[in-house]
Chains A and B, each alone.
Chain A
């Protein structure tokens, strides 16, 4: 999966609720109906990039199994970015599907 696409999915996932890394991965897999499989090697570097860009924030909290986990949360600028990117994506994908359907 391309890095930008993954980043958009992460932002969308975090827009609903803060989650830890595993939670993000699971949510993306479930909501995509198993189409997207998120590996460690792609998920965490993406989180690192988003955090560096100030689009998400992280804090340590106790997780459901009572171990400490890093929970990621969308920041204000992350939310703004999501709106922009989402519109962008919808526009592009609509265009792509129009092209593909045209015969």
Chain B
């Protein structure tokens, strides 16, 4: 046993010595045989010759001994790799094209995999994330499939539901923070008692909130903290940015809406609930008499041990039904839905990403097929070399390995380069695809690198297999006899090569069809009229604080001054503000039930409507149309009668026969009472959430009468609104240095962001399709060129016996066209089969849109152009010379 191991070890480490020993031994063997023949009377040279004839080739024996040795595999691998690198360096262009092709395929697919992995596949970085759920209120009788929950119900659920371990509410909004005299508006989250415990995440520095701190924390109606001794927990990023990661931060004071708040802790870096942009957390204590009709709270819960989501949902619905009986006025018709937190966070991004990942997989396959084609063509050219080596004693297995080695080296180099490309690609995705959930978790991590490795191996196999397979079945004699064969080869090898091209074209067609559908869909999206004109509008969200602006009319005065100064800026056409602007995510946005005054207590005429408080010039600034009545103006003063303007859809719903203006609308503020408003105008509908959403029912109230603290100010100017940003910033600083400008955006960009996913999907898929088409064309070109080279002699003969150039052109291009047409047909079938995958991403386009067919039909034409080059080369062949050479 020991001896065997010793021998194996010796073979592994002293393989070269043993090789020399066997070489000597074989030579000695021949010498002895020859010597015997000399004794028998032959002359020395003849003796040697006969000995060799009888005993066979010593080199072949040596090679077989080598293969039998342990470690041969590694040894020959290194040798073959060196050989392959040398061969590749001799043809730099060929090698560069191959390496780049693989690098692009591996790089793009790895980057996309990293995104898909982080967004869809990986569990949330929280303890037992599978048990975390989101809670939504739902009221089907009012056409509200899901909305936020209410603080009043949340408090009761917490006490009554057993199958949920902890239920937490949180509410996110921008608030002004001052650290060391420098103010900024940041996203803050107020969180109820169970929030941190149910997520199961402890603070990285200090601690999270105590129950006492939470119970003491209160907010006023403008969501400004008003409890005694307020405390905050900082997000990791904010702590690093504003405190330089100071570990002594606990106990320091920051100003929150101008009131001092004590820092008690810092969350870990990976913590990103409710979102990665939240910078500061505040405790939120619920009182005994919370409202049950204000659905603005986001709610989280953790399933109790052993409870499933349907069980918990069933129990919670029972509690909701009980609450509806106890509080019919507010809770009638309301129920609850549970959604797994991960599914809720990812939303329908998953579908887009799946499509793109499938697409990039196709690109990778096309890339591999192309490298396979190139290597195959090269392998054919090297048929002679292979035959010579085989004759000189190389075994079949060795030779196959050698031919496999070049694609392997190409794939490894391409894969490494691909990892670099993936790194850059991920950085690009993180910068561009800002709307994507969990984007901060995307990284070139070990899982992504593992994927890159797998993609590289796949590339090596797919690209190397065809030439290795061909080599393994090659007949050395035919290769040797004909010198590189210049007449038509066997049918099988061409069928294989042509098959690769057909597959390439088919995959390119699938991508092209998908991409053209997305382009078409994106055009449709852009053509949708959102109900306002975003061009030339700059948006500035402004959050006034209770401390300085809480008093009567102070915010009215602030906004009056601000808008007046903004309107006075050169180039500004008009300026106006609204509590919530379309396509802009910030600001208070809430629904209230409304009904015509003449139809009280009638469920059928009660509609929920979104309430917006707007300044007088708001409609003009946004380019909205008053379709009936008048806009707000100086008449809507603080002491004037209550006035309201309705969106057209709502006006038609409540007064189907028209004539809304002059009627009275009742708005239900629930606990704060119901009030009638004079309808003074009707304005066109707005697609508030962007072109993909339907218009909502909206009511507008005049800001002069309802002076909200928070407004999104819109400034319309001539020319590029982004150029107005510095001037707007100046004005804001002048009016109140404590309220700096935050997040100035062009409304066009904000609107674009609502369908940025469509845009990105369209751009990425188009890029993929372009690459695939390019590769397929390269493949066609390569195959036809090779066909011409391989058949030089045949072409020469054809020309000699009278074939003219037109005939040759037809012959070569016809072959290319045949492959393309088969590929297009196959691709068309595949595209139709995969249309369902992409149809979920489309807007206003069906998956069988003719746009796809048109794009695909263009492919054969381009392919025909590409095939003209090798065909032209065929016509340049000099028949006389070819025949002489043969």
Contacts and interface: CB of A to CB of B under 8 A. Distances in A.
B663 interface: no
Contacts of B33: 22
Interface in A12-40: 20-22, 25, 37-40
A40 B69 CA distance: 17
Contacts of B35: 65
B4 A45 contact: no
Contacts of A49: 68
Interface stretch (B58-66, B171-179, B246-254, B632-640): B58-66
Contacts of B144: none
Interface string B18-29: 000110111011
A79 to B, nearest CB: 16
A21 B25 CA distance: 8
B68 A69 contact: no
Interface string A59-89: 0000101011110000000000000000000
A51 interface: yes
Interface string B40-69: 000000000000001111101100110011
B10 to A, nearest CB: 11
Contacts of A48: 65, 68-69
B3 interface: yes
A52 interface: yes
Interface residues of A, number: 23
A39 B58 CA distance: 9
B56 A52 contact: no
B29 A25 contact: yes
Contact of B28 (A22, A41, A45): A22
A41 B61 contact: yes
Contacts of B57: 40-41
Contacts of B7: 51-52
B735 interface: no
A40 to B, nearest CB: 4
A22 B237 CA distance: 80
A27 to B, nearest CB: 13
A41 B57 CA distance: 7
Contact of B65 (A38, A39, A44, A67): A44
B32 interface: yes
Most B CB within 10 A of own CB, among A21, A22, A65, A70 = A22
A65 B35 CA distance: 10
A64 B68 CA distance: 29
Most A CB within 10 A of own CB, among B7, B33, B55, B64 = B55
A44 B61 CA distance: 7
A54 B4 CA distance: 7
A49 to B, nearest CB: 7
A67 B58 CA distance: 19
Contacts of B29: 21-22, 25, 40
Most A CB within 10 A of own CB, among B8, B29, B56 = B29
A26 B32 CA distance: 10
Nearest to A51: B7
Most B CB within 10 A of own CB, among A39, A44, A65, A68 = A44
Nearest to B29: A22
B56 A45 contact: no
Nearest to B56: A39
A103 to B, nearest CB: 39
A40 B3 contact: no
A17 to B, nearest CB: 17
18 contacts: A20-B25, A21-B28, A40-B26, A40-B61, A41-B57, A41-B60, A43-B61, A44-B22, A45-B64, A48-B68, A49-B68, A52-B8, A52-B68, A65-B32, A65-B35, A67-B31, A69-B28, A70-B21
Interface of A: 20-22, 25, 37-41, 43-45, 48-49, 51-52, 54, 63, 65, 67-70
Given A21-B25, A54-B3, A70-B21, 6 more contacts: A22-B28, A39-B56, A41-B56, A44-B25, A52-B68, A70-B25
10 closest Cβ pairs, A-B complex: A39-B56, A40-B61, A22-B32, A41-B61, A22-B29, A41-B56, A48-B68, A40-B55, A45-B64, A40-B56
